[in-house]
Structure 1
Amino acid sequence: MIVALLKYLHLAAMLCWCASLIALPLLLSLYGGAWRRDRGSEKLQARYAEFRLITHYGYVAFATPAAVVAIAAGTGLIFAADVFDLWFVAKLALVSGMALVHAWIGHFILISAEHRGMHNLPSPLIPLALAIPLMVGVLWLVLAKPDLGGLTDWMPRFMLSPRGTWGQA
């Protein structure tokens, strides 16, 4: 019962987090550069205020809580379902990449607020281009659960033995 509840919570939060990792860079890309021209316009000022509210609250009140819930439920699921396979380590590495992209998007949102637009920043589509392969990789690893045992052939022996057993062979 607890495993099913954690899986549901983890999946729902991951869907929300991934949706925000797609939507926020698109919003920044579509509306972030609009403030460069016609800064004095009242209509543009109202649009900018709306843009700021959507991106700020989308990040602070939706994306970040979804990420925290997804990671917390996933951590609980590790121990509840007793998952300690090599594919899972690869999934954690990809989720770490997603967290870095999440932080980078937050930086874009902060800079767009401080400078009223995306001045002197790379395209916000770069985080999107990084996030999508990470999300696809996580989905593939979870669904396929591939045997990645062949990857251990190139690893040093000390990385493959449990703690406290070094020197015992």
Structure 2
Amino acid sequence: MIAALKALHIAAILVWSAGLIALPLLLIGYGGARRQSRFSEFRLLTHYGYVAFVTPAAVIAVVAGTGLIFAAGVFDLWFIAKLALVSLMALVHAWIGHLIEQSGVQRQGAMANGERSRGYAMPNPIMALVIAIPAMAAVLWLVLAKPDLAWVAGLLPQFMLQTQDQSL
């Protein structure tokens, strides 16, 4: 059971990570498309890539990873750091989706007003790569090295390291 969950989790992480790299590159390559045919191709690639491949892979990765947490009983400090980095990857994922959505909305608005559209003047998608690639590398390092992060506990206030003996 654990081996199957790990295999599913790793495969989903690979697809999700590839999408977090490919989609910003597509946004850079097609973002300023002036011809309708190029813009239609751009929208098809980015929209379906995001909706049909990258997002389901992210959901599967998170669900399989959550199953692994409980199946393998991993509750170490390196794992908490990994979850923080995966959360950062999820934020980048959401931002890329916003950029994809806005690229279509801005173009449609300009076309409806009869303007000659130059495309959506979005923030530079390279920022997604600058954030996502180091986060992915750090996740990989944390999972493979499983470093002892006990020194981090020494930096935290004491109340964060003990139970508060409170019930819901």
TM-score by length of 1: 0.89
- 1:28 aligned residue: 27
- 1:40 aligned residue: none
- 1:17 aligned residue: 16
Aligned length: 156
Write the distance in 2 (CA, Å) between the matches of 1:143 and 1:48: 41
Gaps of 5+ in 1: 36-43
Write the distance in 1 (CA, Å) between the matches of 2:80 and 2:86: 10
Contact 2:46/2:100 (<8 A) preserved: yes
Q: What do the CA deviations read for 1:48-97 (whole angstroms, capped 9, x no partner)?
A: 11110110000001010000000000000000001000000000000000
Contact 2:103/2:122 (<8 A) preserved: no
**Range with bigger deviation, 90-99 or 116-125:** 116-125
The DSSP-based 3-state class of the residue aligned with 1:98 is: helix
Write the distance in 1 (CA, Å) between the matches of 2:150 and 2:32: 47
Letter in 2 for 1:94: L
**Structure 1 residue 164 displacement after superposition:** 1.5
Letter in 1 for 2:73: D
> Once superposed, which parts of structure 1, at least 4 consecutive aligned residues long, lie more than 3 Å away?
none
- 2:68 aligned residue: 77
- 2:39 aligned residue: 48
- 1:4 aligned residue: 3
- 1:111 aligned residue: 102
- 2:137 aligned residue: 136
**Structure 1 residue 34 displacement after superposition:** 2.4
**Range with bigger deviation, 18-27 or 120-129:** 120-129
**Structure 1 residue 114 displacement after superposition:** 1.1
TM-score by length of 2: 0.89
The DSSP-based 3-state class of the residue aligned with 1:115 is: helix
Aligned-pair identity in percent equals 63
Gaps of 5+ in 2: 108-117
**Range with bigger deviation, 108-117 or 150-159:** 108-117
How big is the alpha-carbon RMSD for the aligned residues of Structure 1 and Structure 2? 1.3
